[in-house]
């Protein structure tokens, strides 16, 4: 096991968990989210039935992914688009660069894509002297700060209004106490010119529609529409798991995504794109590409017990419900997809050895599974990841010895009672003093076991 990634996570978690300002901002933002979502979910007559149907559809997709992906490709190509298959990050980057170099592109505008974060596209384009501008306000803010998105739906959740006002004051000279409306208007003013001067627009997609050969994008700001309308080329980078069978399935998934993501009935802009513009159309790109990214997804698909992780529609509900995420924050995970869902999929996509520790970063309270709109059994998947890491021999040998000793003692009452409370407390204080962290102390064990105390009480009654 590589200890560097895990130790970095532990150090960052301890630091962030006791950052009171961070906790205040996150608690405030998530409380607002909880209120909105609670009101949004009341609109369903039978939410549980809708979630079961969404789960069933995603199950059918994953069981037939090998048939549905070529079908989507064929239908998208009929619409005039082109499909590119990318096995990993490097292939995706090179395919995008090939398109950009062909037209000698100097600037791209981006919108609605966690997958481009996954393939580290901004840094890659910068290294090739191509400017990449995030157009979604939250992504734009964290790009100005030189940070990664904090959350898969609200990238700047960790920032307060004064934080953003200070940033805009330093970068663009806006008032130090600017309101949210003023900051939004300034961002709009800055970004409008970017759309007009961009050579290429790059987005993700919330869903790939097999029957129509289309992509569906959900957003609240309209930036994806501008990013796909003004530039002459549109590239959509999408994970292969985003398929749904039919355009008619959107009447289920769009409300579920809106309700669980922001509490809305539907997000403000819901767009279906079916290829480049046609001869009789005035708006839209001359060329449209969909890059289908694997990057470890088929490795997760091969895990029959854990492939549920691919059902995710990226609503962010499990992050907002998770007590660990709310305390340690999104950047601490060191991954594109943080929180419970990231802890499931990252070990399979980026390597169990390097990221198995994320599956232990959970209280297993089950709240993540409870709130999931497609009924992914998240806390069970975390346990299965832990099981797999042990089967692969990735846990330290000392841990194996410790568990063997524990099982031997705990399964034999005589052995358990032989080591009285005094010796147990000494052993724990000597070897496990920091097991609960530096801020807490282990509780003391009673001098006598419950079994002995019970026998003594029964003797007195006789």
Q: Are residues 141 and 285 in the same domain?
A: yes
Instruction: Determine the pLDDT at residue 419.
Output: 65
pTM here is: 0.91
Would residue 7 count as lying in a domain?
no
- The residue from 295, 314, 349 where one domain ends is 295
**341/317 Cα distance (integer angstroms):** 10
Distance CA 115, CA 159 (A): 23
Domain assignment present for 319: no
Shared domain for 280 and 412, answered yes or no, is no
Model confidence pLDDT, tens digit, residues 20-74: 999 999 999 999 999 999 999 999 999 999 999 999 999 999 999 999 999 999 9
Residue 19 to residue 13: CA distance in whole angstroms: 10
Domain assignment present for residue 76? The answer is yes
Whole-Å CA distances, 448 to 127, 228, 417, 455? 66, 71, 8, 11
Residue appearing with tokens 């309209």: 222
Question: For residue 303, is it within any domain?
Answer: no
Q: What is the pLDDT of residues 241-290, one digit of tens each?
A: 999 999 999 999 999 999 999 999 999 999 999 999 988 888 889 999 99
| Residue 249 is assigned to a structural domain of this protein | yes
Rounded to 10 deg, the angle between the 339-350 and 378-391 helix axes is 30
Total count of domains within the chain = 2
424 and 277 fall within a common domain: no
Please say which residue of 295, 315, 338 terminates a domain. 295
- How far apart are the C-alpha atoms of 317 and 370, rounded to whole Å? 10
Q: Checking phi first, is residue 107 left (phi over 0); if not, alpha (psi -120 to 50) or beta?
A: beta
Is the pLDDT at 329 greater than 70? The verdict is yes
- Report if residue 376 sits inside a domain: no
Query: What mean pLDDT do residues 362-380 have?
Result: 95
Go through 233-260 and write b for each residue having 16 or more CB atoms within 10 A of its CB, e for each that does not.
Answer: bbbbbbbbbbbbbebebbebbbbbbbbb
CATH code of the domain in which 155 resides:
3.40.50.10420
Percent of the chain with pLDDT over 90: 79
Residues in the chain: 462
pLDDT at residue 166 greater than cutoff 80: yes
What is the token pair recorded at 204? Answer: 């993700």
Distance CA 273, CA 81 (A): 10
**The domain boundary residue, chosen from 295, 312, 337:** 295
pLDDT digit string, tens, across residues 172-223: 999 999 999 999 999 999 999 999 999 999 999 999 999 999 999 999 999 9
φ, ψ at 378 (rounded to 5°)? -65, -45
Environment class of 391 (CB within 10 Å of its CB; exposed 0-12, middle 13-18, buried 19+):
exposed
User: Residue 171 is encoded by which pair of tokens?
Assistant: 């970068």
Give dist(CA 317, CA 368) in Å, integer: 7
What does the alpha-carbon distance between residue 23 and residue 19 come to, in Å, rounded to a whole number?
A: 6
Q: Which among 413, 462, 414, 423 has a CA at the least distance from the CA of 445?
A: 423
Q: Do 252 and 110 fall into the same domain?
A: yes
Of all residues in the chain, the percent with pLDDT exceeding 70 is 98
**Together in a domain, 105 and 227:** yes
Same domain, 413 and 280: no
pLDDT of residue 455: 82
How much is the mean pLDDT over the chain?
92
Residue 116 domain flag: yes
Condensed to tens digits (0 to 9), the pLDDT of residues 140-154 reads 999 999 999 999 999
Residue 119 falls inside a structural domain: yes
The answer to whether the CB of 265 falls within 8 A of the CB of 211 is no
Rounded Cα–Cα distance for residues 139 and 404 (Å): 48
pLDDT the model gives residue 420: 66
Tell whether 289 and 414 lie within a shared domain.
no
Q: What is the 3-state secondary structure (H, E, C) of the chain?
A: CCHHHHHHHHHHHHHHHCCHHHHHHHHHHHHHHHHHHHHHHCCCCCHHHHHHHHHHHHHHHHHCHHHHHHHHHHHHHHCCCEEEEECCHHHHHHHHHHHHHHCCCCEEEEECCCHHHHCCHHHHHHHCCCEEEECCHHHHHHHHHCCCCCCCCCCCCCCCHHHHHHHHHHHHCCCCCCCHHHHHHHHHHHHHHHHHHCCEEEECCCEEECCCCEEEEEECCCHHHHHHHCCCEEEEEEEHHHEECCHHHHHHHHHHHHHHHCCCCCCCEEEEECCCCCCCCCCCCCEEEEEEECCCHHHHHCCCCCHHHHHCCCCCHHHHHCHHHHHHCCHHHCCCCCHHHHHHHHHHHHCHHHHHHHHHCCCCCCHHHHHCCCCCCHHHHHHHHHHHHHHCCCCCHHHHHHHHHHHHHHCCHHHHHHCCHHHHHHHHHHHCCCCCCCCCCCCCCCCCCHHHHHHHHHHHHC
The tens digit of pLDDT for each residue in 340-355 reads 999 999 999 999 999 9
pLDDT number for residue 1: 44
Section 137-141 average pLDDT: 95
Domain hosting residue 456, numbered range: 407-461
Q: At what angle do helices 47-63 and 65-78 cross, to 10 degrees?
A: 90
């Amino acid at each position: 096991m590589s200890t560097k990634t895990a130790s970095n996570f532990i150090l960052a978690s301890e630091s962030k968990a006791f950052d009171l300002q961070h906790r205040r901002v996150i608690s405030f933002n998530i409380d607002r989210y909880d209120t909105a979502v609670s009101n949004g979910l009341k609109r369903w007559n039978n939410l549980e039935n809708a979630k079961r149907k969404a789960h069933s559809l995603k199950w059918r997709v994953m069981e037939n992914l090998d048939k549905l992906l070529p079908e989507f490709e064929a239908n998208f190509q009929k619409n005039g688009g082109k499909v590119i298959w990318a096995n990993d990050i490097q292939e995706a980057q090179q395919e995008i660069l090939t398109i950009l170099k062909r037209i000698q592109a100097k600037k791209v505008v981006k919108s609605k894509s966690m997958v481009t974060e996954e393939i580290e596209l901004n840094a890659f384009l910068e290294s090739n002297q191509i400017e990449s501008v995030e157009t979604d306000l939250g992504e734009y803010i964290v790009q100005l700060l030189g940070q990664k998105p904090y959350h898969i739906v609200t990238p700047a959740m960790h920032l307060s209004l004064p934080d953003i006002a200070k940033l805009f004051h330093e970068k663009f000279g806006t008032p130090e106490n600017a309101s949210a409306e003023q900051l939004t208007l300034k961002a709009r003013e800055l970004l409008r010119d970017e759309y007009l001067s961009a050579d290429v627009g790059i987005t993700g997609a919330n869903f790939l529609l097999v029957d129509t050969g289309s992509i569906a994008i959900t957003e609240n700001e309209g930036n994806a529409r501008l990013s796909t309308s003004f530039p002459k080329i549109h590239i959509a980078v999408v994970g292969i798991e985003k398929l749904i069978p039919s355009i008619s399935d959107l009447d289920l998934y769009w409300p579920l995504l809106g309700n669980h993501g922001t509490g809305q009935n539907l997000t403000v802009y819901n767009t279906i794109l079916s290829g480049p513009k046609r001869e009789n159309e005035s708006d839209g790109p001359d060329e449209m590409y969909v890059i289908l990214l694997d990057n470890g997804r088929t490795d997760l698909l091969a895990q029959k017990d854990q492939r549920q992780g691919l059902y995710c529609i990226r609503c962010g509900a499990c992050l907002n419900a998770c007590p660990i995420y709310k305390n340690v924050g999104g950047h601490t995970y060191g991954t594109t997809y943080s929180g419970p869902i990231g802890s499931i999929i990252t070990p399979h996509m980026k390597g169990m050895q390097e990221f198995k520790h994320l599956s232990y970063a959970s209280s297993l309270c089950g709240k993540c599974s409870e709130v999931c709109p497609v009924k992914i059994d998240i806390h069970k998947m975390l346990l299965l990841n832990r099981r797999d890491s042990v089967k692969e021999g990735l846990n330290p040998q000392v841990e194996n010895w410790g568990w063997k000793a524990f099982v031997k003692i705990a399964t034999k009452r005589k052995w358990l009672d032989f080591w009285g409370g005094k010796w147990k407390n000494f052993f724990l204080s000597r070897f496990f003093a920091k097991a609960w962290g530096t801020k807490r102390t282990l509780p003391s064990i009673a001098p006598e076991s419950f079994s002995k105390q019970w026998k003594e009480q029964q003797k007195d009654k006789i």
